[in-house]
Structure 1
Amino acid sequence: MARAEKATMRQEQAAETKQKLLDSARKLFAERGFSGTPVRSINRSVGLADGLLYHYFPGGKKEIFQVIVEESFRRILEEIHQRSLEDNFDGIPLETVLEQVYRNFAEILRDNLDIFKIFFREGEVREFISWDEIDSILKNRYRWLPELLKQRAEAGEIREMDYESAADTIIALMINHLMAKLVGIVPPHLSDPQKRARLIRYQVSLWKIPRP
């Protein structure tokens, strides 16, 4: 085998091992916490001898944690942005719009639950991502909701109301879902997509203009 091919193979093997370490560490951090996960546990979870982790991550456990947090945060933001580009709500009933928004949120939460557990449980996250940054992103992502409700009211689909407070009722439902998933106790009205959709439809019905 040529020297260049051997070098390429070693690089690929090293990259594969690094990814295995990251994947395993993410699960361990989510289950046991950063402080409760010794380096030895990460090594053994992927079949490495003690000490070899530092060959791939010289900064040790903290470097792994930083890579997981920063890469995951960036990936989730990209997914949120991509979903927002794909959303087209023109001419769609309001309850269907809100059901889709909630479904997007639930799918992102489901696919990244380990990361959300780490974000909300581990104080070390603040070294790499500020809570102000997270709060700003969440507000920017859903700032269009009060404006959407206002537009739908002007179109006669719903009545005039306090649009900010109305939007907060939907956001609060999603936050409750998030917190329930983090503690591992999700009530049926949040775990069942059909029941969630029924909740959304009921909420929108309260905003409808009463029929004479």
Structure 2
Amino acid sequence: IVVGGVQKQPAYIAQGGSEAGVQLAVHPLAARALLGLPAGALTSDDELVTSGAEVLGKRATEVRERLCEQRSWADRFAVLGTYLRERAAAGEDGAPVRSEVAEAWAWLARHRGAGTLTGLAEHVALSPRRLTSVFRAETGLSPKQAARLMRFQCARNTVVRSVAVGRAPDLARVAAECGYFDHSHLVRDFRRYTGVSPTAWLAEECRNIQAGGHLYGEE
């Protein structure tokens, strides 16, 4: 069991042979309720992931063993779903996410990563410096880093939707629609977050997209 925070650059994991498991994407603002600590506590420049048993406790180890015992994926998902709902219900009594941070994230999401830090800070009635401090402590990202990731996600999803319907993506149009200065700006962010150009990324992911793999984890 491993748990990792939000990554700001591509991470490559070498593994031998084959493996099977369940990968769960947790919204940064849901980390408190589900994991018992803010997502910012999982972000480290030294370690990509943290032992899930240390974060989640003995119960998580028991659930993992139960998952290994199940004979179908439907049963495994049922076991995991029950455990996650119990974790979330128990976490509702813990310290909530600061309202300013929650509203700042929602504002960035509504604007798809556009806007200024000054405008965002004014919206939540905090100074830019204070907002950056509390936002990073909760999510592991500064507001600017979160905005850049959201803008990239918007562009990536637009590209994926084009490929999914059999249409070649117009990267210049995607860049304009998602708030980039130009096509080159979009290419730089693709390299920053995936390690390759948009063309190379599509070459690697095209079959997965066409098979419907892009639908997983979008919500």
**TM > 0.5 between the two?**
no
Query: What TM-score, normalized to structure 1?
Result: 0.34
Larger Rg: 1
